[in-house]
């Protein structure tokens, strides 16, 4: 089982869209996928049409007697299962702090289900917190959407510096997100980001109407717009991520 977290210090960069669409593309290839929604806003939960309810709240979820399997729900896309989010996750840091070895807690919760899934996608809120550090301890890689904006490189540098300073072995896979090639500023900033961060995945996710329609359709783009440019880009991006997770 491989664990990938869609993560960024900055909000509004397409983390949930990335998680939901890559989950769909992974499942389309036959992978058994679990999406764990860790964001109190519950956007991934909503898009997969799962009831936003954590029984017993985040206290029960991560407490000493917590079991992840008790919170897993099916979705309309049968190969994709979901651990839903609700607003109780706003207190996740508090409840993690009361556990033994809190930065290892999410990893320990995942251990009993590792034979049931090929891929776990953690959809994370934008922050650096105790919950984030527990994500870093659980994930094999952080998939970090990066928008073509002036401060994007600085935000990515902050994250990589933090991981290095804390000696955390999690890998970082930056992914260009919400790119509008019609705008010269986006083209120029994309080139700058590729020069500064050569590890950026080759595929860039476009700013597209199909992606914006996900909230209306409550589904991944590949479900309602299978031939769209956005679907093709997410499909290509998943191929690149899979090649990192399972090298030939």
Question: How does pLDDT run across 183-213, given as a tens digit for each residue?
Answer: 898 999 899 899 988 999 999 999 999 999 9
pLDDT score for 10: 86
**What's the pLDDT band for 163 if we cut at 50, 70, 90?**
very high
pLDDT score for 66: 84
How far is the C-alpha of 73 from the C-alpha of 75, rounded, in Å?
7
Residue 155 lies in a domain: yes
Residue 223 lies in a domain: yes
User: pLDDT, tens digit, for every residue of 204-243?
Assistant: 999 999 999 999 999 999 999 999 999 999 999 999 999 9
pLDDT score for 181: 86
Residue 113 lies in a domain: yes
Select from 228, 224, 202, 227 the least CA-distant residue to 215.
224
Q: What is the CATH number of the domain that holds 137?
A: 3.40.50.300
**What's the pLDDT band for 14 if we cut at 50, 70, 90?**
very high
0.85 exceeded by the pTM?
A: yes
122 pLDDT exceeds 90?
yes
Residue 211 lies in a domain: yes
Residues 86/57, Cβ–Cβ less than 8 Å? yes
User: Looking at residues 18-24, what average pLDDT do you find?
Assistant: 98
pLDDT score for 162: 92
Residue 247 lies in a domain: no
User: pLDDT, tens digit, for every residue of 86-110?
Assistant: 999 999 999 999 998 999 999 999 9
143 pLDDT exceeds 90?
yes
Residues 36/23, Cβ–Cβ less than 8 Å? no
Residue 248 lies in a domain: no
Where in the sequence is the domain holding 7, given as residue range(s)?
2-241
pLDDT score for 100: 87
pLDDT score for 65: 81
pLDDT score for 63: 87
Residue 114 lies in a domain: yes
Angle, CA 92 vertex, CA 89 and CA 96 arms, to 5°: 155
Number of domains in the chain: 1
pLDDT score for 28: 96
Residue 224 lies in a domain: yes
Q: For residue 226, what are its two tokens?
A: 């299978």
- In the numeric block, the tokens 């994250």 are attached to 159
């Amino acid at each position: 089982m491989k664990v990938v977290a869609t993560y960024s210090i900055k909000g509004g960069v397409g983390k949930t869209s990335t998680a939901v669409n890559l989950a769909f593309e992974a499942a389309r290839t036959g992978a058994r996928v679990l999406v764990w929604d860790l964001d109190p806003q519950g956007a991934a939960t909503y898009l997969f049409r799962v009831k936003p309810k954590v029984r017993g709240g985040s206290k029960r979820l991560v407490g000493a007697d917590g079991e992840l399997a008790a919170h897993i729900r099916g979705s309309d896309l049968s190969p994709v299962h979901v651990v839903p989010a609700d607003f109780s996750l706003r207190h996740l840091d508090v409840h993690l702090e009361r556990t033994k070895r809190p930065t290892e807690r999410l990893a320990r919760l995942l251990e009993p289900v590792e034979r049931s899934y090929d891929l776990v996608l953690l959809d994370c809120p934008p922050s650096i917190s105790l919950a984030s550090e527990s994500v870093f301890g659980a994930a094999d890689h952080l998939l970090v959407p990066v928008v073509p904006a002036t401060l994007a490189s600085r935000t990515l540098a902050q994250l990589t510096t933090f991981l290095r300073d804390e000696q955390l072995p999690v890998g970082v896979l930056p992914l260009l997100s919400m790119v509008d090639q019609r705008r010269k500023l986006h083209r120029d900033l994309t080139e700058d980001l590729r020069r500064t961060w050569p590890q950026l995945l080759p595929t860039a996710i476009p700013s597209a109407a199909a992606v914006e329609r996900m909230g209306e359709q409550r589904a991944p783009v590949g479900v309602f717009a299978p031939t769209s440019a956005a679907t093709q880009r997410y499909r290509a991006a998943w191929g690149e991520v899979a090649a990192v997770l399972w090298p030939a």
